[in-house]
Structure 1
């Protein structure tokens, strides 16, 4: 299933009003952790899967990436990205993540932020990314944490006074689609365990270099008390991997 909720005008308008849509990367709570996983981008060829408004694409060029390709299925997203971008070295392509078919070794860095939990076949995507990365290339991704996606409700268990008692987890090992609510609409997310994420990457040939479940720092808690919820349960899973430096680009 290839979802394209963002070309629904009402849904897109609500998404456009979210803090991260207005304020960009600095308004995305996970950004500082995600940024720390991204390698030096100087003179690198970068691919952004699920590029949205193009924030990461522009960041890559600001950090001297040689070229950037941003892929997204939503024409609304890409239209906004093009409006916000004035750089001939950034190319936006309308394409489902599932349909990427780039050449061997075409990129040095692939990034994907909060998009791959909407993709059913993670195994196939990992193989395609491995193929299009140059030897020694990096893949950095973030997804909603499996603790967060296990139950479709994605909500706390509340007490009689409306207090948040705990975050329920059930059917954790039952992988597959979950019909969740996002911006007052139904969306399909694909739940998979931490084990599946890690083993799929390893079996695709990648070497794991860093894993983060985004534990809030005291500074984050001081700046925004809402981060206290992320101390109680993780919302994000961030992973950095590399392709074997000795791997032939023909593989």
Structure 2
């Protein structure tokens, strides 16, 4: 999500990997990066209403706040992340949308993280 030219990066990684080599990466989930602001919508009492997903199919640059700093991120659809790997001869091994473990649900705000996917982990292999 910080890389402007994802396809070019995947091509370079493919060239550098040995046959059968693995690529594992994480990105912010496309649902999380779609809107740009990456914040919940709240009611007048400050209670979380929902997480906005908007402009999902419009890929490209987004500005978000991270640790009180403006950062540039690049939103892509799930289709783009996965099909770019496939069209560059990778085999997708596994896809994970991590969620908080049950033993963390008592931490303030953690239960709300079950309402949206925040991260995406992808494992792929270079063909033999």
Superposition TM-score, scaled by structure 1 size: 0.49
Residue in structure 2 matched with residue 237 of structure 1 by the alignment = 120
Deviation digits for residues 202-234 of structure 1 (CA, Å, limit 9, x no counterpart): 111110111011123313435x35331221001
Distance 1:220 1:202 in 2: 35
Kindly report the root-mean-square deviation, in angstroms, between the aligned alpha carbons of the 2 structures: 1.2
1:90-147 CA deviation, whole Å, 9 max, x = no partner? xxxxxxxxxxxxxxxxxxxxxxxxxxx1111100000000110001000000011111
Count of paired positions:
128
Q: Which has the higher strand share?
A: 2
Do residues 127 (structure 1) and 31 (structure 2) align?
A: no
Whole-angstrom CA distance in 1 between matches of 2:65 and 2:38:
8
| Greater relative contact order (CA < 8 Å, ≥ 6 in sequence) | 2
- Give deviations 1:12-61, integer Å, cap 9, x for gaps: xxxxxxxxxxxxxxxxxxxxxxxxxxxxxxxxxxxxxxxxxxxxxxxxxx
Q: Does 1:213 align with 2:122?
A: no
Higher helix share: 1
* Runs of 4 or more consecutive aligned structure 1 residues displaced over 2 Å after TM superposition: 219-222, 224-227
* Counterpart for residue 99 of structure 1: none
Q: Where does structure 2 lack aligned partners over 5 or more consecutive residues? A: none
Q: Are residue 142 (structure 1) and residue 6 (structure 2) matched? A: no
Q: Normalising by structure 2, report the TM-score.
A: 0.94
User: Structure 2: how far apart are the matches of 1:232 and 1:211?
Assistant: 19
Counterpart Cα distance in 2 of 1:230 and 1:122: 27
Cα drift, residue 242 of structure 1: 0.5
Gaps of 5+ in 1: 1-116, 246-251
Cα distance in 1 for residues equivalent to 2:101 and 2:67 = 28
1:153 matched residue in structure 2 = 37
Which has more radius of gyration?
Answer: 1
Q: How does 1:17-32 map to 2 (within 5 A)?
A: none
